[in-house]
Amino acid sequence: MKLSFWLNGVYRHDDVEPDTLLLDFLRDKGCYSVKRGCETANCGLCTVLMDGKPVLSCSTLALRAEGKKIVTMEGMQKEAEEFGAFLADEGAEQCGFCNPGFIMNVFAMEKELENPSEEDVKEYLAGNLCRCSGFVGQTRSILKYLEHKKSQKKEEAEE
């Protein structure tokens, strides 16, 4: 079947089998940040943004991307590097295997929630699993990152 969609800002036309999962399709297109973890839609490793909303690509058919804008971490390198520095500063990067899906959810949360509390952050990211930590460092890094972004917006508004 034909599939037309945006992938990381590039409009694409591709052929896809009707039963192909979005995860497999994206990895075939070189988006290796999209990872297979639990295969039960419980770990968040496969998270991508579809029209700005987090989607578990392991349980989404590729054909659902028809006409949509799909963003993986490959399409957000600058933003990922900026947030990654906050993770590293808090010692929260650990092995890094869960980071791509985790980071994609942080970006979605940043757009969706205004001034989230620590509890809001924990609730929003409840579907992301990390085998290395208890999310204490990640939570600290997110709160510091969001505060940094808020102060950046305030400075830009004052200019």
- Listing DSSP states for 23-68 in one string gives HHHHHHTT-TTS---SSSS-S-TTEEEETTEEEEGGGSBGGGGTT-
pLDDT of residue 52: 93
pLDDT tens-digit profile of 7-40? 999 999 999 999 999 999 999 999 999 999 887 8
Percent above pLDDT 70 for the chain: 98
pLDDT tens-digit profile of 78-106? 999 999 899 889 887 777 777 888 889 88
Instruction: Quickly list H helices, 51-127.
Output: 77-89, 99-112, 118-124
Selected from 3.40.50.2300, 3.10.20.30, 3.30.2130.30, 1.10.3720.10, the CATH number assigned to the domain covering 2-74 reads: 3.10.20.30
Residue spans of the domains in the chain: they are 2-74, 76-158
Of 153, 139, 143, 155, give the one whose Cα is nearest residue 115: 143
- In CATH, the architecture of 76-158 is Orthogonal Bundle (1.10)
